[in-house]
Amino acid sequence: MDTLVDVLLLALSAVLINNLVLKYFVGICPFLGVSRRVDMAFGMGMAVTFVITIAATLSWAFTEFVLRPGAPISTAVWQAVNPDSTAIVDLSMLKYIVYIFVIAGSVQLVEMYVRKFFPPLYKSFGVFLPLITTNCAILFACLMIGSAKHIGVDATEPWGLGYALVYAIGGGLGFTVAISIMAGIREELDLCDVPKCLKGVGIALIVAGILSLAFMGFTGVDKGLGKLLR
């Protein structure tokens, strides 16, 4: 029961309270670039959710088995080379390079899959699909999962795969929610009389500010709900 509540709260916190875009400012480029039409925005959000899930799983596995201090695979390799050594192997310095490799690989995979099985979707994404590699939201989620300290949730030791997956999917859904709301507002904005100098990105940023103000209203909901449910 407690685990279920934990998972529920973690998902809620990732989707609404600690929204990747509106609280941590990651993934701003697609948030401003692909938010002109709702269907495109929703597709982009789904693609990001998909990539974030794959990349988070892979980077969790790399952190757990290779990169963290005393990880099984790196220790085994080290001891095969130096049988007498008792040193603890710590490769965590390499994590940025490994994560970015993992993300680039998963984006390539998704691109190939979408091109083969959903050609119309592939055409409508165009240049944005490869650009997911440089979407900071994905690297941010991988870093959160790989580090021992987690924002919004008290955790003293690294997460298990289950929590990591919940966080990744929740983060991706939060991105989808934010970008879809934004696209809906911007479709209406096209009909409004915006001052010339604010047209385009300027007014989009101001709308995002108001949206982020609205999302701040969720702050503390997870703590209260947790007290109620436990």
Looking at residue 37, the DSSP 8-state letter turns out to be S
Specify whether the CB–CB gap between 37 and 51 falls below 8 A: no
Q: Is 135 an interacting residue with respect to another protein (CB under 8 A)?
A: yes
Residue 52 CB, nearest distance to another protein (Å)? 13
Task: By CB under 8 A, name the one of 7, 8, 143, 165 that touches another protein.
Answer: 143
Q: Is 69 an interacting residue with respect to another protein (CB under 8 A)?
A: no
> Rounded to an integer, what distance in angstroms lies between the CA atom of residue 164 and that of residue 153?
12
- In the three-class reduction of DSSP (H, G, I as helix; E, B as strand; rest coil), residue 151 is classed as coil
Within residues 85-124, the interface with another protein by CB under 8 A covers: 93-94, 96-97, 100-101, 104
Cα 133 to Cα 91, 99, 179, distances in angstroms: 23, 11, 18
Q: Is 208 an interacting residue with respect to another protein (CB under 8 A)?
A: yes
Q: Is 193 an interacting residue with respect to another protein (CB under 8 A)?
A: no
> Rounded to an integer, what distance in angstroms lies between the CA atom of residue 102 and that of residue 180?
27
Q: Is 59 an interacting residue with respect to another protein (CB under 8 A)?
A: no
Residue 73 CB, nearest distance to another protein (Å)? 21
* Residue span binding another protein (CB under 8 A) among the ranges 26-34, 56-64, 65-73, 175-183: 26-34
* Residue span binding another protein (CB under 8 A) among the ranges 5-13, 46-54, 133-141, 221-229: 133-141
* Residue span binding another protein (CB under 8 A) among the ranges 28-36, 65-73, 119-127, 159-167: 28-36
> Rounded to an integer, what distance in angstroms lies between the CA atom of residue 148 and that of residue 41?
32
Residue 104 CB, nearest distance to another protein (Å)? 6
CB atoms near residue 166 (< 10 Å): 20
Please give the biggest Cα pair distance in the chain.
75
> Rounded to an integer, what distance in angstroms lies between the CA atom of residue 36 and that of residue 128?
14
> Rounded to an integer, what distance in angstroms lies between the CA atom of residue 224 and that of residue 30?
33
Residues lying near another protein in the complex (CB under 8 A) are found at 22-29, 32, 93-94, 96-97, 100-101, 104, 130, 133-136, 139-140, 143-144, 147, 195-198, 201-206, 208-210, 212-213, 216
